[in-house]
Structure 1
Amino acid sequence: MWSSLLIFVLCLPCCLSFPVIPKTIRDDLEFFKNYFHRFFFTKEESQYQTLEDQLRFLQHFFRLEETGWLDEPTKAIIRQPRCGVRDVADYSFFPGKPKIRNNPITYSIINYPRGMNHRTVEKILRKAAEVWSSVTPLKFRRVYKQHSDIEFAFLAGDHGDAYPFDGEGNTLAHAFAPVPNYQGAIHFDRDEEWSYYDEGVNLFVVAVHEIGHALGLGHSQDSDSIMFPNYQYQDPKFFRLSDDDIIGIQSLY
């Protein structure tokens, strides 16, 4: 189907002429391929999938109409700011269903974002953790030493974990499953404009999502779920976990 869009042969008396693919289309396709290989399947994993297959897979995940085309709804959703963790489906877990075995769970704050009061950041992160303790037996306790079950850090660019940040917009944060090496590490892109309101990026909303990963939850297809991969502002005063989130976390704890 892509041949009709991308390759059109015009017969002339003495030659074959191939029109140049518009740069905007090339850029959109390149962006999609990079996105798909970063968040769904690598080039090696998807080498036997056609571009149409990849588009339909992504559209199915995001519950879009499965056109197999890089249409406007698809372009819009892959351009939205999001979490840097790869996608799966429904409420989901990491392979082997790892979880934090300690209770209370300890957390530490390695550094702070620019432009936010430290006490405000501490309050936000505490409230984000309490969202998960409100529906499980888990308790959270802040510690002031480097090693803890969960570590919050604000980092920029290439910061040594093979998942570099890309500046303002796009990838906002990422977190690691509760397994050895990077257990419980939660990294926020320091170049974002973090806030407690609807200006910039709401730290509370992103922190709740990333704590979910640190506890063992993967991404969800449910757009009402805090574990949906794309960022969606919600007023912290009225925030509630979805049924999908509650079922998922209670399946682990």
Structure 2
Amino acid sequence: MEGALAAKTLIVVVFAALCGAVPTTAPSQEDISKAQDYLSKFFSDVGVSAPNSATVFRSSLESFEDTLKKMQEFFHLEVTGKLDSNTLEVMSRPRCGVTDVVRYSHFDGTPKWDKPVLTYRITDYTAGLSQSEVDTTLAKALKLYSDVIPLDFKQSDSSAADIMIMFRAREHGDFSPFDGKNGVLAHAYSPGEGHGGDTHFDEDETWTLDSTGSNLFLVAAHEFGHALGLAHSQVQSALMHPTYVYVNTEGYKLPDDDRKGIQAIYGVRQTSNQPNPNPTPRPMPESAPDRCDRNLNFDAITSIHRRLYFFKDSYVWRRGSFWSGIRVNKIQSVWSGINKVDAAYENKKDNIAIFFEGDHYWGIRGKTVLPGYPKPLSAFGFPSSVAKVDAAVHVSFTGRTLLFVGRRFWSYNERWGRMDRGYPKYISREFPGIGHEVDAVFENRGYLYFSYGSTQKEYHYQRRRAVRTLSNYEWMAC
């Protein structure tokens, strides 16, 4: 049995132990020991290829400093080879336990399932949720993949199901025992015969459907990615990024990086495989989102020529003077060739607006797209791991543009046309009171407005403090 298990790839979700206060002086021996353990698990060539293989750092080719530099480069930290406070903080985050790689990645040999329908069986349920809640949640996690690839999933009671799922504590028969609460969350095997695809959850954890405890949907969706053949991604917003972070699961769709990775293995799912002898009816015109919806959230916000533009899906609202009201248009009808805007800002000095869409950006003057665009994000100075910009704002009195990606942000020097040194930095540290992530941000009358979800923080930049909380719809003349 042990030999058969060693032939599969085991993937583990780990909550790394917190290091306590972040050191500001030389690292202690305890810090160094924890760092060595971290690097041996996630950045050595030994890896965790099998449940019965010891993860011990024994590389004669790489020193501790060289391996630490590799880790710092992966997480876009300052590459010093020194165990500084930022590096220790990253090491303390919850994460998955397989060796780290860049972008989406596949296991060696790209293992996959060669059948159109995969069966799965849940042999042991958690006591923290009802059986129906577990069934529904796991089916929802699998649907993330069946929505985008030609592979369907069917729950079965058969002992011959392709993917066997269980909730067990400690030793559970696969030579990889769980370690109790707040340690390893779950593990899964890559595709293949025998134990291939099998997924196990630690019953000592508190499994929930919200932000408390361990969110079953997010952990399961990550593990099922491994069970289908995905390894880890360096893209922070990817489901397969090694760091585990809770996000709002309502309406959650497979992020672009994960979608591209899984489609590279299985192909793209067609919307319908059934012949349709009848002519396709003309689709009903898409209606603009309700601007007075109390749960309204924005993709991007910016000022252009003293007017505020609010972007949502394929629409843009323009707010001029108080008495001119709100006008709505399709983005495409205003700026030809642009369908959606993820982030936007205006550099008033140069009379140019920059629109970010996916992995590229556009230069805009008025309603005209400037020649030479779109350009890739790398031309802006972003590393290859950044596949999307969440928010952007030009701070006029500093001459800097702030660009937000996940929980961090960059500072761009417009005068010199390059990123400032020392970035990215963490949003929550540099902008206390606004939270960890930003959907949209803009400057108005000397304040910055950070929008996340349906609310936003009015922020005094020079005093570094949040002044008040607003609802997004309050800008919509409702």
Partner of 2:63: 50
Partner of 1:6: none
Richer in strand (by share): 2
Q: Alpha carbons of 1:182 and 1:61: their partners in 2 closer, same or farther (altered >3 Å)? A: farther
Q: Which of 119, 136, 147 matches 1:134?
A: 147
For the pair 1:86 / 2:99, whether they are aligned, the reply is yes
Partner of 2:38: 35
Q: Alpha carbons of 1:140 and 1:56: their partners in 2 closer, same or farther (altered >3 Å)? A: same
- In our comparison, the structure showing a higher alpha carbon Rg is 2
Question: Deviations for 1:153-211, whole angstroms, at most 9, x for unmatched residues?
Answer: 11222333333322222422111111334201111121111100000111000111000
Q: Alpha carbons of 1:216 and 1:75: their partners in 2 closer, same or farther (altered >3 Å)? A: same
Partner of 1:227: 240
Partner of 1:73: 86
Q: Alpha carbons of 1:155 and 1:72: their partners in 2 closer, same or farther (altered >3 Å)? A: farther
What amino acid is aligned across from residue 229 of structure 1 in structure 2? P
Partner of 1:105: 118
Q: Alpha carbons of 1:85 and 1:164: their partners in 2 closer, same or farther (altered >3 Å)? A: farther
Q: In 1, Cα distance between the equivalents of 2:227 and 2:98?
A: 11
Contact 1:128/1:204 (<8 A) preserved = yes
TM-score under structure 1 normalisation?
0.85
Deviates more, 1:27-36 or 1:183-192: 27-36
Give the count of matched residue pairs. 232
CA RMSD after TM alignment: 2.0
> Which of 1 and 2 has higher RCO (CA within 8 Å, sep 6+)?
1
Q: In 2, Cα distance between the equivalents of 1:250 and 1:93?
A: 11
Partner of 1:165: 178
Partner of 1:185: 198
SS in 1 for 2:28: helix
Q: Alpha carbons of 1:142 and 1:30: their partners in 2 closer, same or farther (altered >3 Å)? A: same
For the pair 1:203 / 2:216, whether they are aligned, the reply is yes
What amino acid is aligned across from residue 26 of structure 1 in structure 2? Q
Q: Alpha carbons of 1:71 and 1:161: their partners in 2 closer, same or farther (altered >3 Å)? A: farther
Q: Alpha carbons of 1:163 and 1:35: their partners in 2 closer, same or farther (altered >3 Å)? A: farther
How far off its partner does 1:62 sit?
Answer: 2.3
Partner of 2:352: none
Q: In 1, Cα distance between the equivalents of 2:165 and 2:93?
A: 23
Partner of 2:73: 60
Flag structure 2 segments of 5+ consecutive residues without an equivalent. Answer: 1-24, 47-55, 267-478
SS in 2 for 1:212: helix
Deviates more, 1:162-171 or 1:121-130: 162-171
What amino acid is aligned across from residue 38 of structure 1 in structure 2? K
For the pair 1:249 / 2:262, whether they are aligned, the reply is yes
Q: Alpha carbons of 1:209 and 1:47: their partners in 2 closer, same or farther (altered >3 Å)? A: same
SS in 2 for 1:60: helix
Deviates more, 1:203-212 or 1:49-58: 49-58
Partner of 1:240: 253
Q: Alpha carbons of 1:77 and 1:215: their partners in 2 closer, same or farther (altered >3 Å)? A: same
Aligned-residue identity in percent: 42
Contact 2:231/2:240 (<8 A) preserved = yes
Q: In 2, Cα distance between the equivalents of 1:160 and 1:66?
A: 41
SS in 2 for 1:107: strand
Partner of 2:161: 148
How far off its partner does 1:235 sit?
Answer: 1.5
SS in 1 for 2:187: strand
How far off its partner does 1:117 sit?
Answer: 1.0
Q: In 2, Cα distance between the equivalents of 1:44 and 1:72?
A: 22
Richer in helix (by share): 1
How far off its partner does 1:44 sit?
Answer: 5.7
Q: Alpha carbons of 1:234 and 1:85: their partners in 2 closer, same or farther (altered >3 Å)? A: same
Q: In 2, Cα distance between the equivalents of 1:180 and 1:227?
A: 23
Partner of 1:212: 225
Question: Deviations for 1:102-124, whole angstroms, at most 9, x for unmatched residues?
Answer: 22111111111222111101100
SS in 2 for 1:179: coil
Question: Deviations for 1:194-237, whole angstroms, at most 9, x for unmatched residues?
Answer: 10000011100011100000000000011100000111111211
SS in 1 for 2:132: helix
Deviates more, 1:81-90 or 1:195-204: 81-90
SS in 1 for 2:143: helix
Moved over 3 A (4+): 42-45
Contact 1:100/1:178 (<8 A) preserved = yes
